Amino acid sequence: MLTALLDDLRAEQADLCSIVADADLDAPTPAEGWNVRDAVSHLAGTDVEALKAATRPEEFVAGLTEVAKDIDGFLTGQLVERRGLSREQLLSSWQDGFDAMVEAFADVPAGTKVPWYGPPMSPASFATARLMEYWAHGQDVADALGVQRAATDRLRHICHLGVRTRGFAYVNRGLAPPDVPVAVELTAPDGSTWAFGDGEQRVTGPAEDFCLLVTQRRHRDDLALRAEGEAAHEWLGLAQCFAGPPGPGRARR
């Protein structure tokens, strides 16, 4: 399972690399205040932190307190330290850091939990989270450059994460998660159906749209998702599969 996940993570990063290889790094993305360079820098910076978490967990955990004091400052620092790099330096250092991170994940002993900014995760869960981050920030880059990305079966990982984080979306807002189950039935890129969970209430629609929703890359009203039932409807208004404070989402197009 881990090997397949890491292969998909490599493929997701390779797709983004091909998009930014000759792109305008100064093009503004939908993420307020960030351009394409910043999106790449953020991914590169978090790859470095993920490598540290996998190979030097005690050092990573020791730094969490300082990061928590100023999360915005920490994230901005990742961008600032890379703004003076040439295109070649930025892309090369990004690739080197990514490769080192993936190799480290592959070497983490089975049963080990890797620390992160949320709960510690297994290497497989960590790889899924990184794939989600790459896809989500890759969407920002694609939007900035006017590129239409082809949907792939890798979206299934993000859909799975989106379903698993339903309770987190509530807790992250100081709300109690409902005990009403919601089934999720999504149309995969190849036309097949991906089904998650059981329940009389349902969320249905394209898998890509579900991924855009849970990563908060599109407003709900701009997506072809359908909620059947009060709990399903409420969830779609709160959905968030990434760690950190509640995101503001994107404006309706």
pLDDT digits 0-9 by tens, 119-167: 899 999 999 999 999 999 999 999 999 999 999 999 999 999 999 999 9
Start-to-end CA distance of the chain, whole Å, equals: 38
Q: Both 115 and 196 in a single domain?
A: no
Same domain? For 102 and 203 the reply is no
Residue 6 sits in the same domain as residue 114: yes
Q: Is residue 51 part of a domain?
A: yes
Residues 109 and 14 in one domain: yes
Is 137 part of a structural domain of the chain?
A: no
**Do both 164 and 220 map to the same domain?**
yes
Q: Is residue 251 part of a domain?
A: no
Q: Are residues 73 and 12 in the same domain?
A: yes
- Residues paired with 182 in a beta bridge: 201
Indicate the number of domains in the chain: 2
Last residue of a domain, one of 121, 143, 173: 121
- Mark whether 11 and 102 lie in a shared domain: yes
- Residue 51 structural domain: 2-121
3-state helix, strand, coil in the chain (%, to 5): 55, 10, 35
Asked whether the CA dihedral 237, 242, 246, 249 is positive or negative, the reply is negative
Q: Is 239 exposed, middle or buried (0-12, 13-18, 19+ CB in 10 A)?
A: buried
Residue of higher predicted confidence among 102 and 72: 102
Q: Is residue 248 part of a domain?
A: no
247 domain-assigned: no
Q: What rounded mean pLDDT belongs to the chain?
A: 96
Residues 93, 15, single domain; the answer is yes
The pTM is what? 0.96
Tallying the residues shown for the chain, one arrives at 253
Q: In this model, does residue 244 exceed pLDDT 90?
A: no
Average pLDDT over residues 80-104: 97
What pLDDT does residue 217 have? 98
Query: Confidence class of residue 71 from pLDDT cuts 50, 70 and 90?
Result: confident
**106/161 same-domain check:** no
Please tell me whether residues 96 and 185 are part of one structural domain: no
Model confidence at 247: pLDDT above 90? no
- Residue 192 class from Cβ within 10 Å (0-12 exposed, 13-18 middle, 19+ buried)? exposed
Residues 6+ apart with CB under 8 A from 186: 159, 193, 194, 195, 196, 204, 205, 206, 207, 210
pLDDT of residue 198: 94
Q: Within this chain, do residues 113 and 51 fall inside the same structural domain, yes or no?
A: yes
Same domain, 97 and 193: no
